[in-house]
């Protein structure tokens, strides 16, 4: 107690159920980025979140439920990012150059990109996770379609997803001029 005000103990996490769920989802994302979904455990997530193991199984009784919460959080973050992309593309004089700039910015945080691809792969294996991943993947198409039409939006989305995956796997830098030319070809 300080000046008559009770303060929580340092390092102690709130017992607020939503705060705990959010902390567990965020910790799951971090663990997935480091070791992949196959090696993600309730124990590792609890340790990362600074919560007792029982909290993970209380809020997320199965590992699938924990992964689904992480995927939902990642999808929510991705939706916010896509809104930023939409705002940027709306005012862009050159769609291809703007997209390449956005991809370059996105890939500057390869850890986050790796998380999103890892969670997407989990959705490919687990039908319960698919609706979240499909919403997430369709966001880029919906963003591009008004600019280039449905077919070109499909092709450009696939190109960008493939490019980002290639960059994650190889660690290579983005070849901005080649990607710009490919987007222009697909948009034509």
- Whether 61 maps to a domain, the answer reads yes
User: What does the pLDDT look like over 71-123, one tens digit per residue?
Assistant: 788 778 878 888 999 999 998 999 999 999 999 999 998 888 887 787 777 77
CB of 59 closer than 8 Å to CB of 21:
yes
- Whether 177 maps to a domain, the answer reads yes
Q: How many domains does the chain have?
A: 1
- By residue range, what is the domain housing residue 119? 17-187
Q: What is the CATH number of the domain that holds 123?
A: 1.10.357.10
- Whether 92 maps to a domain, the answer reads yes
- Whether 9 maps to a domain, the answer reads no
CA distance 32 to 26: 10
Q: pTM for the complete prediction?
A: 0.73
Structure tokens belonging to residue 161 = 């997803």
Nearest to 24 by CA among 130, 7, 105, 62: 62
Mean pLDDT of the chain, nearest integer? 86
- Whether 103 maps to a domain, the answer reads yes
Q: Could you give the 3-state DSSP secondary structure of residue 170? A: helix
User: What does the pLDDT look like over 155-183, one tens digit per residue?
Assistant: 999 999 999 999 999 999 999 999 999 99
The pLDDT of 6-35, averaged and rounded, is 75
Percentage of the residues of the chain whose pLDDT score is greater than 90? 56
The pLDDT of 115-141, averaged and rounded, is 77
CA distance 31 to 39: 9
Most confident of 35-44, 64-73, 152-161: 152-161
């Amino acid at each position: 107690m300080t000046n008559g005000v009770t303060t929580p103990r340092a390092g102690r996490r709130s017992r607020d159920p939503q705060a705990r769920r959010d902390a567990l989802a965020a910790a799951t994302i971090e663990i997935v980025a480091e070791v992949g979904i196959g090696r993600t455990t309730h124990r590792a997530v609890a340790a990362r979140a600074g919560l007792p193991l029982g909290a993970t199984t209380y809020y997320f009784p199965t590992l699938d439920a924990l992964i689904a919460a992480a995927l939902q959080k990642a999808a929510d973050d991705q939706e916010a990012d896509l809104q930023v992309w939409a705002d940027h593309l709306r005012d862009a004089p050159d769609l291809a150059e703007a997209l390449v700039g956005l991809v370059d910015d996105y890939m500057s945080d390869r850890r986050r990109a790796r998380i999103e691809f890892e969670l997407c792969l989990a959705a490919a294996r687990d039908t319960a996770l698919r609706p979240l991943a499909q919403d997430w993947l369709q966001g880029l198409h919906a963003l591009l379609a008004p600019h280039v039409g449905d077919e070109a939006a499909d092709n450009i989305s696939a190109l960008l997803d493939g490019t980002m995956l290639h960059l994650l796997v190889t660690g290579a830098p983005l070849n901005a001029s080649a990607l710009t030319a490919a987007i222009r070809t697909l948009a034509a």
